[in-house]
Structure 1
């Protein structure tokens, strides 16, 4: 980025005077605090600021352990650009630079993934600038508490679902203030990938969300791991009890990771040790969840789906597994394992969700993204949807996942996918005449 490409822009809002950056055709108001919290306490809304709100030097991020797999498959994390903070309730607003006064743009709220454990709202690999410019939408990216701070809990001293409550506070802020950025407060779409998709699916049945959003795009949500997690969560809560008062958050992160292997006995769900917990605010009991989704079918438009080879991200990139299953019969066994686990964790639950929702009268589309190229050795794995939606070639240049796939192929399919997703965000439907990328299978579910 050159100096000539960047300038400041001021949003005069009732929340405060917000200093933003104008760059490459978009305006970014970054790292706006929407709430605060004490450790293991519910978020408290942030009041309007009497002083200027200025972009911080570093991006606030919830304390976390960097994933070697993510570093390999997506790209390195430049930790010098981030500032660990427990109270990590921040959001960023990205709007087109060319804007007509009194224009109201559809709003997409990005809820990042990362197993409820890693990530943040503002990463180069999920910078929505390209999407915002192409489709004239506003994207709001949300950071919230993760891991021990946001998605464990289970008693009075450590309540669960705090990360979910953070997101609800962010949605309240967006509903209140997005008009002053040029957004349509009556046209808000939640967009979540992986654990972010899991979170927004459960926001559909959460208390306190009435009127905060109209649509949802749920990508690669591991809904197959949502069942019967209580015993595992309680054991992990007990094992991490000695860490709850640790003042050194980095030591806290290192110590809890050592405890994760002790819950592997719970099977596939232990691959995501943190998560939403039924029976605690803002959620119902697990046995009530399906009927709650059905009861809300008239409220929200839903676009839900997955990538065709989700678990190849984890299985086919393992050096240990490839030693035994990388060729011949072993590879055929590996392919079948990817197929079965993808369906169990992602595919079958998405299909059941969509069919239940349609049966209850809901407007729902089901999609699946395929690789469409022989250049990829792992097909269409978990996270392949991210470069398609967000673009940003420079951010993905070291991705092992995209090795041997020409960026022109990603960009060609990505532009078409971005257009379809924006069409859904505008009006809750996708026309049969709209151009589909060759990698996408999409259908409206009618029962």
Structure 2
């Protein structure tokens, strides 16, 4: 590592010369390409070159996607002017403390974003890890990968399944091979995934080709209740979108694919997340073998898994149409019961069973649940409420509808304690009984 001038640092790594930005006690390395891909092809790793100079792109690369009105409302507007659509979205960014002792190796947390395997990227301001990195003296790597039509729909030779999952595996290989040159411990890597990102990393536990790439997982709000019997739905969706596979205008693809999304009525709740990991296609086993595979691998990984108490309130209690009829009185009681039942079906019961299966097979597993504890917060602890707790960054969340009834001081107070616990798990694979818990957290060792 050599200082270049006041605002930058140059790292001489086995991958090449990497220029990083110095920023208020942290170092940022933005958008390193770890692999390339052609449309519907497997990723190919970028070759290392000691003489190469790694230059970050001017705009943040993001997989082509349609904006979600609900996410824009509840979390915040996406600064589309700072992003650039790129089908080959194999990039990662690194945030680390500016000062590290000469022989120090920091634990590495790898962030796999959510978004129903359809939207998002690794470099959103609402998941900026700077605050966590400074507080806990860790390294956080954020990963972007292919989504939607490009990454999580397939099923034949011309359009393979699970390409987004293969992208993530390539990112993990890059991290394993190169993070030591940037101050990280390549033997202490924790995957952190939320929502569909949690689903992805849970399935990485039973994927081929991941040996020694990570040691721990933090799985937040994974919709594991939607993982079953998706084959017919995926096959129908694949067939209907064949007409789009050669389209050169990716924005046109994003406009048109929605006409082919499977019906929720026909396929049930799982059709609410039409893209996903697909069993029976590389690198995954058949669905009927999945539970035994998780049990077989249970002792290889430390696992922290859980959810927010009112996950589906994010979708149900924010609907103006539903609130018109179910916003008060008996209607509100029906709404509350619906949130409770659907949260249990999609998130809670599957997380508990997942944890129990691993624990029964000898795994080291913790199960958590995040509550609201605020009497005047009608939405409770919905999907995504864990994001500001883990990442902080008040300025990015100031316009969020999700937090409109919650003082930021409360988010910060509980978040700082939660970040300390999650960092403790990333360092050691354990959470001490004497470590301070935030009041919103229910946590137990299985």
Displacement of 1:260 = 1.8
Q: Does 1:275 align with 2:269?
A: no
CA distance in 2, matches of 1:257, 1:130: 37
CA distance in 2, matches of 1:62, 1:333: 39
CA distance in 2, matches of 1:403, 1:426: 34
1:8-28 CA distance string (max 9 Å, x none):
111111101111111121101
Q: Does 1:343 align with 2:344?
A: yes
Displacement of 1:52 = 1.7
Q: Alignment partner of 2:7: what SS?
A: strand
Q: Does 1:9 align with 2:5?
A: no
Q: Does 1:245 align with 2:246?
A: yes
Q: Alignment partner of 2:403: what SS?
A: coil
Q: Alignment partner of 2:345: what SS?
A: helix
1:109-132 CA distance string (max 9 Å, x none):
000000000000000000000000
Matches within 5 A, 1:9-408: 9-49=9-49, 50-260=51-261, 262=263, 264-408=265-409
1:42-87 CA distance string (max 9 Å, x none):
0000012443212221100000000000000000001001000000
CA distance in 2, matches of 1:255, 1:271: 17
Q: Retained in 2: the 8 A contact 1:112–1:120?
A: yes
CA distance in 2, matches of 1:6, 1:32: 22
Q: Alignment partner of 2:299: what SS?
A: coil
Matches within 5 A, 1:410-425: 410-425=411-426
Q: Alignment partner of 1:401: what SS?
A: helix
CA distance in 2, matches of 1:70, 1:260: 19
Displacement of 1:261 = 5.5
Q: Alignment partner of 2:300: what SS?
A: coil
Displacement of 1:258 = 2.1
1:244-295 CA distance string (max 9 Å, x none):
0000000000000122254652110011000000000000000000000000
Displacement of 1:376 = 2.0
Q: Alignment partner of 1:12: what SS?
A: strand
Q: Retained in 2: the 8 A contact 1:6–1:23?
A: no
Q: Retained in 2: the 8 A contact 1:236–1:263?
A: no
Quickly say closer, same or farther: Cα 1:6–1:154, change in 2 above 3 A.
farther
Displacement of 1:374 = 2.3
Q: Retained in 2: the 8 A contact 1:43–1:169?
A: yes
Quickly say closer, same or farther: Cα 1:131–1:17, change in 2 above 3 A.
same
Q: Alignment partner of 1:240: what SS?
A: helix
Displacement of 1:404 = 1.9
Q: Retained in 2: the 8 A contact 1:365–1:443?
A: yes
TM-score normalised to structure 1 length: 0.97
Count of residue pairs the alignment pairs up: 441
Could you list the runs of 5+ residues in structure 2 that have no partner in the other structure?
A: none
CA distance in 1, matches of 2:144, 2:444: 31
CA distance in 2, matches of 1:340, 1:290: 24
CA distance in 1, matches of 2:319, 2:439: 29
Q: Retained in 2: the 8 A contact 1:277–1:283?
A: yes
Displacement of 1:6 = 7.7
Q: Retained in 2: the 8 A contact 1:218–1:303?
A: yes
Task: Detail structure 1 runs of 4+ shifted over 3 Å in the superposition.
Answer: 261-264
Displacement of 1:99 = 1.1
Could you list the runs of 5+ residues in structure 1 that have no partner in the other structure?
A: none
Q: Retained in 1: the 8 A contact 2:105–2:185?
A: yes
1:207-255 CA distance string (max 9 Å, x none):
0000000000000000000000000000000110000000000000000
CA distance in 1, matches of 2:256, 2:200: 26
CA distance in 1, matches of 2:270, 2:211: 30
